[in-house]
Amino acid sequence: MKHSLKTGFSFGLTSGIITTLGLMVGLHSGTHSKRVVLGGILIIAIADAFSDALGIHISEESENKHITKEIWQSTISTFISKFVFTLTFIIPVSLLELSTAIVVSIIWGLSMLCILSFRIAKEQKARPWKVIIEHLIIALVVIVITHYLGDWVASRFG
């Protein structure tokens, strides 16, 4: 896979997992509303996918070592991967009871992060378990913090 496509895909997928899970967990603990969680996912799919795509675009431009075509490939692959992967979280929320959907979404997202981390480790000839654990810890920190932040918002402003 071309570097520019790999950059966009890996960034979009990772950001889609971390951002969406953090949002979902925080909104669930703060509101317990399926409608609010679904709305949040849709908003993140659009607003954050564009934001991340622009961020990658500017980052690649600022390196001053990529041709225009490569920059746009990274930009578009970031947007598409973030947008599409974020939308996959709608499926469990739409089909399951919200608390169950949150658990299923966490399992889905962390599983995809493990697969991506494994592939990255193999390409770098690194120990997969070290890369996987590092990435999972970061994701779990986000999930825990957003859960308690949602609780705090609900108790303070609910």
Domain boundaries, the chain: 3-157
**What percentage of the chain carries pLDDT values higher than 90?**
96
DSSP letter at 108 equals H
What is the mean predicted confidence (pLDDT) over 85-113?
98
Confidence of residue 3 (pLDDT cuts 50, 70, 90): confident
What is the mean predicted confidence (pLDDT) over 21-37?
98
pTM for this model (two decimals): 0.94
Angle in degrees, 0-180, between the axes of helices 98-124 and 3-31, rounded to the nearest 10: 150
DSSP characters for 21-51? HHHHHHHHHHH--HHHHHHHHHHIIIIIHHH
Instruction: Check the CA dihedral 55-46-82-67 and report its sign.
Output: negative
